[in-house]
């Protein structure tokens, strides 16, 4: 019958612990690990050295093969306790506990050099090692992680089972007198070291499993957290991969993921797995700089930010691009359409307001000169009633003109002061109509749900158009109609009537300042108000059939409902 050789078992323990230590060290260097794993690896290495020294008992000095070997063995156990505390509680083992090794070594020295007693050394080992292993198992037992509870209990068991065999060996040696040595082949001694091999291997395996479970759990939590952030962020976000052509040059990009905001912006539910040309067929022809930017970011690794207007969506975006790994990039689109509209409107308004003072001074000065002349004529012809009356009538017209010009300057000053807003066309026309004498003229509005993004003075535009129709439409005027139709470039909002038409030769000058009857400022002001948000106006009616003003509203500047 084969009798196990203890030196062979010690060699196995030495090699297995060294291998486990190197395996953990490699894992620690290459994978996400937590505090304590390095201490566990160091403990295994010290345990391996201790058993190597144990193997040399009888062939080397007792100072090394007994005292130093036991010191390394006990230090290895303390390092494991420290590793477990760091892993489960994020607390290190206080230095004062490591100092307990000194009195233990002194006791070992007593039972080695003063009275050479293997049983004495075995009792000391059991007295200190058994409680230490039980203490090491406590954090694993008290852990509240339900998903890995079984692994915690198995880990604790591999730490405490050797205590049973260690205690059984000491009790047996005390009760059964014999000449015992470290290499005694009795059943208790042999069983203890065999269990030690198995326990070290299983404990290390379970400790690695606990590290993996924690890493996996945190990865899942992180995935849920960042997925929630990704899906609920107000900005549109995508994760993409560049697609090369046969020469290796990027020719397109593939959407690997996209959040809800991006899908809503595109009006597509299915984005993942599609190429950019499938979502926006004309995007690379209209914006070739996008592919160039994405390629540059993935090759250099430097994030970039730029502003872009997508014509199909009629929106402005501030785009941030960064690369996570080669050929992959993330884009975040922040809708800045409203800001762009406001900036454009304010710049436009500022330029218009700079003209205001010149307009006011020039026109009113001319009218005051005319008024002064008429008053002088009235004074010179005070004794001639017919001349006096004519001069006073002309003076009254000048005063009326000045009042109109002052009213214009008031409206012009207000133009652009407030940011453009969405306005219901039906509502502002109804307000304008309420202030005008219709005298039986019918006003028809085709789309009561139409809204336009324009300066708050938009109502003044329709007031002027309807007022002009009522004043100059003549007796044939019976209706004024506001209708709309969409085109590829935007919306044409038409204000037409069946009154007197406008001669063709006058149409080009209709919106010039000062052209027309009275002050010639109404249509000029209307054109200026509309241009703040990029809206244009022109007269395209048939002079024989009436007047038709076409107001062209760009895409993104109108909506229904």
Which pLDDT score is estimated for 379?
A: 63
Half-sphere exposure of 78 (CA within 13 A, CB side): 18
Pair of tokens at residue 101: 């090794």
- Whether the predicted pLDDT of 1 surpasses 50: no
Q: Given pLDDT bands bounded at 50, 70 and 90, which one contains residue 410?
A: low
Q: Given pLDDT bands bounded at 50, 70 and 90, which one contains residue 50?
A: very high
Taking the C-alpha atoms of residue 9 and residue 193, their distance in angstroms, rounded to an integer, is 7
Which pLDDT score is estimated for 406?
A: 63
Cα–Cα distances in Å, from 287 out to 22, 249, 316, 330? 54, 17, 13, 18
Which pLDDT score is estimated for 520?
A: 45
Identify any residues that bridge with 559 across adjacent strands, giving them in sequence order: 451
Average pLDDT estimate for 424-428: 93
Which pLDDT score is estimated for 24?
A: 87
User: How many helices and strands in the chain, by DSSP H and E?
Assistant: 19, 13
Which pLDDT score is estimated for 145?
A: 74
Q: Within 10 A of 310 (CB to CB), how many other CB atoms are there?
A: 19
- Whether the predicted pLDDT of 295 surpasses 50: yes
3-state secondary structure of 315: strand
The pLDDT tens digits for 229-255 are 888 888 899 999 999 998 889 999 999
Taking the C-alpha atoms of residue 394 and residue 371, their distance in angstroms, rounded to an integer, is 8
For the chain, give the percent of residues with pLDDT over 90.
41
Of 282, 284, 285, 286, nearest to 242 (Cα)?
284
Residue with more model confidence, 390 or 506: 506
Cα–Cα distances in Å, from 59 out to 56, 62, 239? 5, 9, 66
- Whether the predicted pLDDT of 319 surpasses 80: yes
Taking the C-alpha atoms of residue 342 and residue 419, their distance in angstroms, rounded to an integer, is 6
Pair of tokens at residue 436: 């005008």
Q: Residue 408 burial by CB count (10 A; 0-12/13-18/19+): exposed, middle or buried?
A: buried
Taking the C-alpha atoms of residue 85 and residue 92, their distance in angstroms, rounded to an integer, is 6
Task: State if pTM tops 0.85.
Answer: no
Report the range of poorest mean pLDDT among 41-55, 361-375, 474-488. 361-375
Report the range of poorest mean pLDDT among 137-146, 207-216, 511-520, 543-552. 511-520
Mean pLDDT of the chain: 85
- Whether the predicted pLDDT of 385 surpasses 50: yes
The pLDDT tens digits for 7-46 are 888 888 899 999 998 988 888 888 888 888 889 999 999 9
Of 433, 458, 431, nearest to 528 (Cα)?
458
Which pLDDT score is estimated for 310?
A: 84
Residue with more model confidence, 345 or 441: 441
- Whether the predicted pLDDT of 506 surpasses 50: yes
Query: Is the CB of residue 360 less than 8 Å from the CB of residue 409?
Result: yes
The pLDDT tens digits for 97-138 are 999 999 999 999 999 999 889 999 999 989 999 999 999 999
Q: Given pLDDT bands bounded at 50, 70 and 90, which one contains residue 468?
A: confident
**CA–CA–CA angle 551, 555, 560 (5° rounding):** 80
Q: Given pLDDT bands bounded at 50, 70 and 90, which one contains residue 351?
A: low
Average pLDDT estimate for 488-508: 88
Q: Given pLDDT bands bounded at 50, 70 and 90, which one contains residue 59?
A: confident
Cα–Cα distances in Å, from 342 out to 348, 352, 534? 10, 15, 11
Residue with more model confidence, 190 or 509: 190
Q: CB within 8 A of 123, min separation 6: which ones?
A: 170, 174
Average pLDDT estimate for 445-467: 88
Q: Given pLDDT bands bounded at 50, 70 and 90, which one contains residue 452?
A: very high
Taking the C-alpha atoms of residue 132 and residue 328, their distance in angstroms, rounded to an integer, is 51
Query: Is the CB of residue 448 less than 8 Å from the CB of residue 426?
Result: yes
- Whether the predicted pLDDT of 171 surpasses 80: yes
């Amino acid at each position: 019958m084969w009798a196990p050789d203890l030196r062979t078992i010690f060699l196995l323990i030495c090699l297995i612990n060294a291998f486990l230590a190197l395996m953990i060290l490699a894992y620690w260097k290459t994978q996400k690990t937590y505090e304590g794993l390095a201490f566990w690896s160091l403990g295994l290495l010290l345990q391996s050295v201790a058993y190597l020294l144990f193997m040399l008992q009888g062939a080397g000095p007792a100072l090394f093969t007994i005292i130093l070997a036991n010191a390394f063995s006990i230090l290895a156990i303390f390092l494991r306790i420290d590793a477990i505390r760091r892993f489960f509680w994020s607390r290190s083992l206080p230095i004062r506990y490591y100092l307990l090794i000194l009195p233990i070594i002194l006791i070992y020295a007593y039972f080695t050099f003063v009275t050479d007693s293997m049983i004495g050394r075995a009792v000391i080992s059991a007295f200190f090692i058994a409680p230490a292993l039980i203490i090491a198992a406590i954090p694993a037992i008290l852990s509240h992680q339900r998903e890995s509870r079984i692994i915690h209990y198995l880990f604790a068991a591999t730490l405490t089972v050797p205590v049973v065999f260690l205690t059984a060996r000491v009790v047996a040696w005390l009760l059964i007198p014999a000449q015992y040595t470290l290499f005694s082949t009795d059943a208790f001694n042999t069983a203890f070291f065999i269990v030690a091999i198995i326990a070290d291997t299983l404990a290390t395996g379970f400790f690695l499993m606990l590290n993996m479970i924690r890493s996996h759990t945190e990865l899942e939590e992180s995935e849920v957290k960042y997925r929630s952030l990704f899906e609920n962020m107000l900005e549109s976000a995508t994760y993409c991969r560049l697609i090369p052509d046969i020469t290796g040059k990027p020719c397109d990009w593939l959407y690997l993921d996209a959040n809800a905001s991006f899908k809503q912006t595109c009006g597509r539910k299915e984005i993942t797995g599609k190429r950019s040309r499938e979502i926006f067929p004309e995007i690379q022809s209209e914006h070739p700089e996008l592919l160039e930017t994405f390629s540059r970011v993935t090759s250099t690794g430097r994030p970039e930010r730029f502003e872009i207007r997508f014509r199909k969506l009629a929106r402005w975006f501030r785009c941030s691009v960064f690369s996570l790994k080669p050929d992959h990039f993330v884009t975040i689109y922040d809708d800045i359409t409203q800001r762009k509209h406001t900036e454009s409107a304010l710049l436009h308004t500022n330029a218009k307001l700079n003209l205001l003072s010149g307009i006011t001074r020039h026109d009113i000065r001319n009218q005051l000169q005319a008024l002064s002349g008429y008053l002088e004529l009235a004074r010179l012809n005070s004794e001639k009633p017919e001349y006096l009356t004519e001069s006073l009538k002309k003076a009254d017209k000048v005063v009326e003109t000045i009042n109109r010009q002052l009213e214009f300057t008031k409206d012009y000053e207000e133009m652009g002061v407030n940011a453009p807003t969405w306005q219901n066309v039906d509502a502002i026309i109804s307000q304008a109509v309420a202030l005008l004498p219709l005298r039986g003229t019918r006003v028809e509005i085709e789309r009561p749900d139409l809204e336009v993004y324009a300066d708050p003075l938009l109502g003044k535009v329709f007031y002027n158009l309807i007022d002009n129709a009522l004043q100059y439409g003549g007796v044939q005027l019976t209706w004024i109609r506001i209708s709309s139709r969409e085109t590829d470039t935007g919306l044409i909002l038409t204000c037409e009537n069946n009154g007197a038409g406008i001669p063709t030769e006058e149409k080009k000058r209709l919106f010039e300042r000062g052209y027309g009857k009275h002050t010639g400022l109404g249509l000029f002001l209307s054109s200026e108000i509309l241009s703040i948000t990029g809206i244009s106006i022109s007269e395209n009616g048939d002079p024989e059939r009436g007047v038709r003003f076409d107001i062209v509203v760009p895409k993104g500047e109108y909506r229904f409902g």
